[in-house]
Structure 1
Amino acid sequence: MDWLQIVLLSIVQGLTEFLPISSSAHLILVPVLTDWPDQGLAFDVALHLGSLIAVVLYFRRELAAMTASWGRSVAGRGTDEDARLAWWVILATIPVGLVGLAFKDAIEVVMRSPLVLAGGLIGFGLLLGYADWRHRGTRSEYRMHWRDALGIGLAQALALIPGTSRSGITMTAALLLGLSREASARFSFLLSIPVIVLAGGLETLELLEASTPVAWADLAMGTLLSGISAYLCIHFFLVFIRRIGMQPFVVYRLILGVALIWLFG
């Protein structure tokens, strides 16, 4: 891989992993538009590792409090809001884990066409726009109930449909359930941690079985750039989400979906 491919793919992954615009659509478009060879599974693992490091670092204080409180709740020493939030993240992860294991091969083989991506971008983009337009919620992620977590988790399972966007569909569900924009985004970002760990773990197992040569310098650069861009994306998204809302991302999704139909239809 040349340096330009490494830089562009790393930044695209870091930004689109957390913005509600579908990382799968962008990572498929980049090699099509540039005529670059496939970056390979090892580089995909490195990019996901960078995104994971970024979100863990950004929410390190919240994660430390959630982990400590969750441990106390498991030991029967009471449950506070941090422990409940940790339980809600676990509960919301179960549906996507089960669906992913059951239908992983079918999704990868059958549903990764550009037109499926376009349909996901447009359809779920309009749903995100509706959820944001009717937004009335003020609850924080610490005021969620188990039903909210389960509903968001079931919605997250839809992200296995290419073009949906994991962050987009979880924010949509959270908005519809009455969470504030900031709380919807924060819970979505917290949910990304176990999802990235699960997906990265599966990719790592496939990589170990393949026993292909590894370009360690490329992987290190990809991890670093993906992590930096993901960290900045999380920070500025949370800073500006109250003012800008979701509509700019909805417009972008519609334009990208139409572009895919035009290119591949």
Structure 2
Amino acid sequence: MTDTMNWAQAIVLGALQGLTEFLPISSSGHLRIASEVMFGGDAGASFTAVTQLGTEAAVLLFFAKDIGRIIAAWFRGLFDADQRDLDYRMGWYVIFATIPIVVLGVLLKDEIRTVARNLWITATVLILFSGVFWLAERYATQRRGLEQLTLRDGLIMGLAQCLALVPGVSRSGSTASAGLFLGLDRAASFRFSFLIAIPAVLGSGLYSLKDAFAPEEGVMAASGPQILVATFIAFVLGYISIAWLLKFVSHHSMNWFGGYRVLLGATVLALLGAGVISAT
């Protein structure tokens, strides 16, 4: 049986999407947990993917100059070898970094919408990836900036982005951790993380648009106006969270987020173990 989402649920989930999308705490994991704990259901992977269009619109606006410069340089470099500067190479890095998640996203579509949304998995990876954050910060040299990014860096961070297909991992957390392991500084790791998320999230959101209006069995069904409002809220709060995060990571490690993830994951495991909430 499919439940109908009400306006309070749509607003809360849209706000949660905007606040958590760019923080390394997993927006999809938070939406999955909040849906179950607060509303006794699942908003579904399609609703999450579509509301992410709002947060990606925030990225497009926030990095509009950078994106425009990279696109222009990429096209110039295609026809003039003398114009192949860092921005040209960055365009290719983003393209190649996007390929792995596109392939896996299509191949594992059914698993992403079913098995991967089990709250036992979400809570467990919330905790486990806190360890990854700690290791990344512990062994990070942070000796390289964005201008020293290579194709190898882009490919590895692109592969790390695939882990975000599982709610609880965090797209920015997995890619930024990979960047730190590669010797990039924290600011560069997060900036490139935002850039490679753009094509992946926009593609996922548009691909899932039709499914959001006809969700699978057991998923809350949202109306068109509810999805639109939730996406707009995600856009506004997402823009604010980008600005805050970039300032925060310039002076603080990801371990702050890791501690929060452990607390949240442990709480969810306790609620599941006590039978207070359902895992599916």
- % of aligned pairs identical? 37
Cross-structure match for 1:28:
32
Give the TM-score, by structure 1 length.
0.91
SS in 1 for 2:153: helix
CA distance in 1, matches of 2:42, 2:183: 41
CA contact (8 A) 2:94 2:195 kept: yes
Matches within 5 A, 1:165-244: 165-207=170-212, 215-244=223-252
Partner of 2:160: 155
Q: Post-superposition shift, 1:38?
A: 4.8
TM, length-normalised to structure 2: 0.87
Residues 184-205 of structure 1, C-alpha deviation per residue, up to 9 Å, x if partnerless?
1111111110111121122024
Once the two structures are superposed, what CA deviation does each residue of 1:129-184 show, in whole Å capped at 9, x if it has no partner? 21012221132222111111111111111222231111110000000001111001
Aligned equivalents of 1:121 and 1:200: distance in 2?
Answer: 23
1:85 and 1:141 in contact (8 A); partners too = no
Which residue of the partner structure matches residue 62 of structure 1? Answer: 66
Whole-Å separation in 1 of the counterparts to 2:226 and 2:112: 28
- The offset of 1:251, in angstroms, is 0.2
| Whole-angstrom CA distance in 1 between matches of 2:214 and 2:272 | 34
- Aligned in 2, Cα 1:106/1:190: closer, same or farther, shift over 3 Å? same
Pair 1:69–1:202, CA change in 2 (3 A): same
Contact 2:18 2:234 (C-alpha < 8 Å) held by counterparts: yes
Question: What is the alpha-carbon distance in structure 2 between the residues aligned to residue 64 and residue 223 of structure 1?
Answer: 24
Shift of 1:236: 0.6
Identify if the C-alpha distance between structure 1 residues 45 and 242 changes in structure 2 by more than 3 Å, giving closer, same or farther.
closer
1:84 aligns with 2:84: no
Task: Give the unaligned 5+ runs of structure 1.
Answer: none
1:105 corresponds to 2:113: no
What's the CA shift string for 1:19-60, capped at 9, x where partnerless?
100112211111222226555677545522211110000000
Q: 1:118 aligns with which of 98, 102, 123?
A: 123
Match of 1:71 in 2: 75
Question: What is the number of equivalent residue pairs in this alignment?
Answer: 263
Shift, 1:220, TM fit: 3.2
Q: Distance in 2 between matches of 1:215 and 1:163?
A: 26
Q: 1: CA distance between counterparts of 2:183 and 2:36?
A: 39
Q: d(CA) in 2 for partners of 1:53 and 1:219?
A: 15
Amino acid at match of 1:107: I
Cα RMSD of the aligned pairs, angstroms, is 2.1
Q: State the alpha-carbon separation in 2 of the partners of residues 159 and 54 from structure 1.
A: 19
CA contact (8 A) 1:11 1:225 kept: yes
Distance 1:41 1:136, change over 3 A: closer
Distance in 1, matches of 2:124 and 2:103, equals 24
Q: Tell me, which stretches of 5 or more residues in structure 2 are unaligned?
A: 216-220, 274-280
Greater alpha carbon shift after TM alignment, 232-241 vs 33-42 = 33-42
Secondary structure class of the residue paired with 2:251: helix
SS in 1 for 2:114: helix
2:12 to 8, 16, 28: 8
Cα distance change on mapping 1:248 and 1:209 into 2, 3 Å = closer
Query: In 2, Cα distance between the equivalents of 1:37 and 1:118?
Result: 16
Conserved? CA contact 2:130–2:258, under 8 Å: yes
CA contact under 8 A between 2:50 and 2:206: conserved in structure 1?
Answer: no
Question: For residue 165 of structure 2, what is the amino acid of its counterpart?
Answer: L
1:254 matches 2:262: yes
Moved more, 100-109 or 161-170: 100-109
